[in-house]
């Protein structure tokens, strides 16, 4: 990290729920790295988040196992993109809330 960027990585990812849902953890893995940069674009502060997401999922149940990989992969990619389209703004909003909270906790600078 520098004074204008940082990296946030997902350390773990698990499904929670019924036994059937939790069994999917054996067939699923994910890695996500968010590279965050900030600066001033001339008018106002700017935050840019670049996301790298890798997901591995074993598909073994019928009818999915009978389909060509592309028939499963394309809808999966669309699903993951829509998920990222929601999660990345949420990450930015959480960072902003955390920053405001941090600022409030800082002792005031003495004059």
Residue 51 lies in a domain: yes
Distance, CA of 31 to CA of 35 (rounded, Å): 13
Structural domain contains residue 65: yes
- pLDDT, tens digit, for every residue of 56-91? 888 777 777 788 888 888 888 888 888 888 888 888
Above 70 in pLDDT, residue 2?
no
Burial of 91: CB neighbours in 10 Å, binned 0-12, 13-18, 19+: middle
In-domain check, residue 110: no
Domain annotation covers residue 111: no
Cα-to-chain-centroid distance, residue 67:
28
- Cα-based distances in Å from 109 to 26, 97, 98, 99, 100: 52, 21, 20, 17, 16
* Whole-number pLDDT of residue 9: 92
pLDDT tens-digit map of 35-52: 988 877 777 777 888 888
Q: In whole numbers, what is the pLDDT of the chain averaged over residues?
A: 83
Has residue 40 been placed in a domain?
Answer: yes
pTM for the model stands at 0.62
Domain that includes residue 70, residue range: 5-105
Position 70 in a domain: yes
Domain count, the chain: 1
């Amino acid at each position: 990290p520098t004074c204008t960027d940082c990296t946030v990585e997902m350390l773990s990812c698990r499904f929670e729920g019924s036994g059937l849902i939790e069994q999917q953890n054996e067939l699923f893995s994910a890695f996500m790295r968010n590279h965050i940069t900030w600066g001033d674009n001339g008018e106002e502060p700017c935050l840019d988040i670049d996301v790298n997401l890798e997901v591995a999922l074993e598909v073994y149940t019928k009818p999915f196992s009978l389909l060509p990989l592309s028939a499963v992969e394309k809808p999966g990619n669309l699903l993951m993109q829509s998920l990222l389209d929601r999660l990345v703004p949420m990450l930015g909003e959480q960072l902003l809330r955390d920053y405001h909270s941090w600022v409030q906790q800082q002792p005031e600078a003495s004059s």
